[in-house]
């Protein structure tokens, strides 16, 4: 068990104007924890705050100033959490702050540059890298992506939906079992075997979210998003499974409204715009107060879902995102105050281990076999489940003579064999019941004789036992089969949903064969030319469009309008930039692939040369009738050194190619997303234009009609 308080970090978003800098200072010199001081400008301090306080100081685990890179955020905040998740503990990282303070930038990343990728893609990359390194365990990874808007949960990864509004998505509901464990109904889990698959899921969810957003619902600032990585691991042969979840949470904007007329109380009395953040605060307050028995988790969906992460079995980290500009001073102070309260909460994380019944059956079966083998070794005879006919006969003879023996001291000795002992008891019981039924008139000895002579009855008993044994065997088989089928069904479902979602996309759009390092080696030779590149990209986005319900067919006029709209749109610069980078990366990958192939053939040639050289030396030794010289052949040494060097080169290039592959995939996904966004904005613009055009024509028509009237008068 690991006990610790929730870790709090602060991140300050870069400000546009330099003049804002006097507003805060970071004190890192202190030995204990660094602190952030927010300095109220004179005018604000006089006007708003009646106690005229001039500055506020807040302590954080660490404070990341404006120039902090995404890499540093990952290394210092997310990596330690990811590590504990790999060790089997639950983890949560949530970003809290007002709209536009950098929550999404921190959790998911920027939409433009590869280097801007945030905690989610970096964590996925790290986790998969670690899983690959660790061959001592078998790991399984699943992804889920939940959005909570207006107290309703939506599954952003539901493969069936063609959502155009949030309400079209299937609703996710919270269920609580008798042990107060939370279960989410309708939230799909998707297996991801590679970083690439997991990344595809992240982008699919983000795109669905974007499509479903309307100017009215402003989902991106008013909803919470929870991206969850579910990890399970077990050692080969062990029946114990470890499960851990990592929630990466992008909360709704924390902005508040002031109670009017309260003036100086503004900083303490402001109310959240978002009701569920209000409930989150209530839970945090309750948890930070000692001896509170009731924690109001049930008040909102978000607090129910995050129940374990707040005051439960989890290692939790909060990132307070701050946009420290003059007009945001009060919001920033609220955010810091919230963080200080969160820092008081103590969590107790435990390892989540459980026994897998399927594995338990297998283990018990193995144990039985081992015991049987051991027994056979001791007794020197192979033990089957049933006694042989000869053994039974022998046994019954023994029983008969035992019963007939008048000596009270006589013993029935069958040896230390439970099967035989059981059979004796069965047999005796049968004799006794028979005696009861037929009455005590007949002498037991004669009865026994009858029994012994009645071959068929023993035969029957034997058969019955056999049948029971057979039945038990069948039961076990059926059980095992059922479990197998269940497993296959679950796999098929996951497989087919991943086929729906990703497979065709990957195989057609990505120049890399999925998950196959062999394929990767030969890839750059078949890398599409640049002309093909764009068609590949178009294919990808058309798929994304289809996925997200954006219509493809456009009239010629509309197409032209779209072209112009696109040209003038700010995002098109990003798309173009990314296209250029993508082209560069493609050709880099191609060149690298060629070098890799060359290196591979060179390695082959060197190996061949070394073998030949070796054979020559041996042949020389034989022909000169001397043994092979013990001193190493300098020529062969040289070849070996060359081979090692070439192998190193090959490895370096191969690693680089793999990294390039991830980058290309990421860039393509960024572009897809930007394109869908562009299309969405164009559609909205087009619809608006069409309406206003119609209005204009109608007014025009009325006017000419009126003119007509006037003319006749």
- The residue whose Cβ lies closest to ligand ADP is 102
Partner touching 84 among Mg ion, ligand ADP, none, CB below 5 to 8 Å by kind: none
Partner touching 328 among Mg ion, ligand ADP, none, CB below 5 to 8 Å by kind: none
CB of 287 to ligand ADP, least distance (A): 24
CB of 42 to ligand ADP, least distance (A): 28
Partner touching 572 among Mg ion, ligand ADP, none, CB below 5 to 8 Å by kind: none
Nearer to Mg ion, 33 or 221 (CB): 221
Nearer to Mg ion, 103 or 501 (CB): 103
- The residue whose Cβ lies closest to Mg ion is 104
Among 7, 61, 101, 104, which residue interacts with Mg ion (rule: CB under 5 A)?
104
Three-state secondary structure of 318-349: EEEEECCCHHHHHHHHHHHHHHHHHCCCEEEE
Pure H helices in 405-454: 418-438, 444-453
- Residue 125 touches Mg ion, criterion: CB under 5 A: no
Q: What's the Cα-to-Cα distance from 547 to each of 144, 228, 521, 678, rounded to whole Å?
A: 18, 22, 31, 16
Residue (of 272, 222, 271) closest to 250 by Cα position: 222
Strands 138-149 and 91-96: unpaired
Partner touching 94 among Mg ion, ligand ADP, none, CB below 5 to 8 Å by kind: none
The secondary structure of 171-195 as a DSSP string is: EEEEEE-TT--EEEET---EE--SH
CB of 572 to ligand ADP, least distance (A): 17
Taking the C-alpha atoms of residue 264 and residue 275, their distance in angstroms, rounded to an integer, is 24
CB of 221 to Mg ion, least distance (A): 6
Partner touching 88 among Mg ion, ligand ADP, none, CB below 5 to 8 Å by kind: none
Nearer to ligand ADP, 253 or 511 (CB): 253
The answer to whether residues 163 and 548 touch, using CB atoms and an 8 Å cutoff, is yes
Partner touching 309 among Mg ion, ligand ADP, none, CB below 5 to 8 Å by kind: none
Q: What are phi and psi of 11, to 5 degrees?
A: -130, 125
Q: Which residues contact 548 (CB under 8 A, 6 or more apart)?
A: 162, 163, 207, 208, 211, 676
The answer to whether residues 64 and 34 touch, using CB atoms and an 8 Å cutoff, is no
CB of 112 to ligand ADP, least distance (A): 8
CB of 127 to ligand ADP, least distance (A): 23
Nearer to ligand ADP, 331 or 663 (CB): 331
Partner touching 97 among Mg ion, ligand ADP, none, CB below 5 to 8 Å by kind: ligand ADP
Other C-beta atoms closer than 10 Å to the C-beta of 506 total 20
Give the rounded distance of the alpha carbon of 411 from its chain centre: 67
CB of 14 to ligand ADP, least distance (A): 5
Partner touching 14 among Mg ion, ligand ADP, none, CB below 5 to 8 Å by kind: ligand ADP
Residue (of 373, 454, 458, 448) closest to 423 by Cα position: 458
Q: Give the SS3 label for residue 304.
A: helix
Partner touching 593 among ligand ADP, Mg ion, none, CB below 5 to 8 Å by kind: none
CB of 157 to ligand ADP, least distance (A): 20
CB of 250 to Mg ion, least distance (A): 6
CB of 99 to Mg ion, least distance (A): 7
Angle at 534 between CA 671 and CA 536, to 5 degrees: 85
Task: Write out the two tokens for 263.
Answer: 């003036």
Nearer to ligand ADP, 71 or 354 (CB): 71
Nearer to ligand ADP, 251 or 653 (CB): 251
> From residue 513 to residue 552, what is the string marking binding to Mg ion with x (rule CB under 5 A)?
----------------------------------------
CB of 110 to ligand ADP, least distance (A): 5
Taking the C-alpha atoms of residue 211 and residue 546, their distance in angstroms, rounded to an integer, is 12
Partner touching 110 among Mg ion, ligand ADP, none, CB below 5 to 8 Å by kind: ligand ADP
The secondary structure of 101-142 as a DSSP string is: SSHHHHHTB-SS-GGGB-HHHHHHHHHHHHHHH--SSEEEEE
Nearer to ligand ADP, 78 or 448 (CB): 78
Taking the C-alpha atoms of residue 140 and residue 491, their distance in angstroms, rounded to an integer, is 12
Taking the C-alpha atoms of residue 71 and residue 77, their distance in angstroms, rounded to an integer, is 10
- What is the contact surface with ligand ADP in residues (CB under 6 A)? 13-14, 97, 99-105, 110, 221, 253, 321
Partner touching 13 among Mg ion, ligand ADP, none, CB below 5 to 8 Å by kind: ligand ADP
Q: Give the SS3 label for residue 456.
A: helix
Nearer to ligand ADP, 14 or 701 (CB): 14
Residue (of 494, 101, 585, 579) closest to 320 by Cα position: 101
Q: Which span sits near Mg ion by CB under 5 A: 78-86, 104-112, 140-148, 664-672? A: 104-112
DSSP one-letter code for 441: T
Partnered with residue 232 across adjacent β-strands are: 140, 243
Binding-site residues, please? Answer: 97-104
Q: Which span sits near Mg ion by CB under 5 A: 2-10, 98-106, 481-489, 646-654? A: 98-106
Q: Give the SS3 label for residue 565.
A: helix
Nearer to ligand ADP, 104 or 509 (CB): 104
Taking the C-alpha atoms of residue 309 and residue 651, their distance in angstroms, rounded to an integer, is 42
Q: What are phi and psi of 121, to 5 degrees?
A: -60, -35
Nearer to Mg ion, 214 or 496 (CB): 214
Report the number of secondary-structure helices (H) and strands (E) in the chain. Answer: 22, 19
Nearer to ligand ADP, 41 or 110 (CB): 110
Binding-site residues for ATP, please? Answer: 97-104
Binding site for Mg ion (CB under 5 A): 103-104
């Amino acid at each position: 068990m690991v006990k610790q308080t929730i870790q709090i970090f602060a991140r300050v978003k870069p400000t546009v104007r330099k003049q804002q800098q006097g507003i805060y200072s970071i004190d890192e010199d202190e030995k204990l924890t660094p602190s952030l001081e927010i300095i109220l400008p004179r005018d604000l301090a006089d006007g708003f705050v009646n106690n005229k306080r001039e500055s506020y100081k807040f302590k954080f685990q660490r404070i990341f100033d404006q120039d902090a890179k995404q890499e540093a955020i990952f290394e210092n905040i997310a990596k330690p959490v990811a590590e504990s998740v790999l060790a089997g503990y639950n983890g949560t990282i949530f970003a809290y702050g007002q709209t536009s303070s950098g929550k999404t930038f921190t959790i998911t990343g920027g939409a433009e540059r590869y280097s801007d990728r945030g905690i989610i893609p970096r964590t996925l990359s790290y986790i998969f890298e670690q899983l690959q390194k660790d061959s001592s365990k078998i790991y399984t990874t699943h992804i889920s992506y939940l959005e909570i808007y207006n107290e309703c949960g939506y599954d952003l990864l539901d493969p069936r939906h063609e959502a155009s509004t949030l309400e079209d998505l299937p609703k996710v509901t919270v269920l609580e079992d008798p042990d107060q464990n939370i279960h989410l109904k309708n939230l799909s889990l998707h297996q991801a075997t590679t970083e690439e698959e997991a990344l595809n899921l992240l982008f699919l969810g983000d795109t669905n979210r974007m499509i479903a957003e309307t100017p009215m619902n402003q989902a991106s600032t008013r909803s919470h998003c929870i991206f969850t990585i579910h990890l399970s691991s077990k050692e080969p042969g062990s029946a114990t499974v470890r499960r851990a979840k990592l929630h990466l949470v992008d909360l709704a904007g924390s902005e508040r409204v002031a109670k009017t007329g309260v003036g100086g109380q503004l900083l303490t009395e402001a109310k959240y715009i978002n009701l569920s953040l209000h409930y989150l605060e209530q839970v945090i307050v309750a948890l930070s107060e000692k001896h509170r028995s009731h924690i109001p988790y049930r008040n909102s969906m978000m607090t129910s879902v995050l129940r374990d992460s707040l005051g439960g079995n989890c290692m939790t980290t909060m990132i307070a995102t701050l946009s420290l500009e003059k007009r945001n001073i009060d919001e920033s102070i609220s955010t810091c105050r919230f963080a200080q309260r969160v820092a008081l909460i103590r969590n107790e994380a435990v390892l989540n281990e459980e026994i897998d019944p399927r594995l338990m059956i297998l283990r018990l079966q193995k144990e039985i076999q081992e015991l049987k083998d051991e027994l056979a070794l001791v007794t020197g005879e192979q033990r089957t489940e049933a006694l042989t006919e000869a053994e039974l006969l022998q046994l019954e003879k023994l029983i008969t003579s035992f019963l007939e023996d008048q000596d009270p001291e006589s013993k029935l000795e069958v040896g230390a064999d439970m099967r035989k002992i059981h059979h004796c008891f069965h047999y005796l019981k049968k004799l006794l019941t028979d005696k009861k039924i037929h009455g005590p008139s007949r002498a037991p000895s004669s009865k026994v004789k009858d029994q012994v002579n009645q071959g068929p009855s023993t035969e029957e008993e034997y058969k019955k036992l056999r049948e029971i044994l057979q039945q038990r065997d069948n039961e076990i088989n059926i059980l095992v089969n059922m479990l197998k089928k269940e497993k296959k069904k679950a796999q098929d479902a996951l497989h087919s949903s991943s086929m729906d979602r990703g497979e065709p996309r990957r195989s057609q759009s990505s120049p890399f064969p999925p998950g196959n390092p062999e394929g990767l080696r030969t890839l750059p030779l078949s890398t599409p030319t640049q002309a093909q590149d764009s068609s590949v990209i178009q294919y990808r986005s058309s798929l994304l469009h289809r996925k997200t319900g954006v219509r493809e067919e456009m009239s010629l006029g509309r197409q032209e309008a779209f072209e112009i709209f696109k040209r003038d749109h700010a995002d098109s610069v990003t798309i173009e930039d990314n296209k250029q980078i993508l082209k560069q990366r493609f050709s880099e990958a191609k060149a690298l692939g060629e070098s890799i192939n060359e290196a591979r053939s060179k390695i082959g040639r060197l190996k061949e040369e070394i073998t030949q050289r070796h054979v020559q030396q041996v042949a020389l030794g034989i022909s000169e009738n001397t043994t092979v010289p013990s001193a190493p052949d300098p020529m062969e040494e040289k070849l070996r050194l060359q081979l090692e060097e070439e192998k190193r080169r090959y490895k370096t290039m191969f690693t680089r190619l793999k990294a390039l592959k991830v980058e290309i995939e990421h860039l393509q996904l960024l572009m897809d997303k930007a394109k869908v966004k562009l299309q969405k904005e164009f559609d909205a613009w087009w619809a608006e234009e069409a309406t206003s055009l119609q209005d204009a024509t109608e007014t025009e028509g009325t006017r000419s009609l009126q003119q007509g009237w006037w003319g006749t008068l």
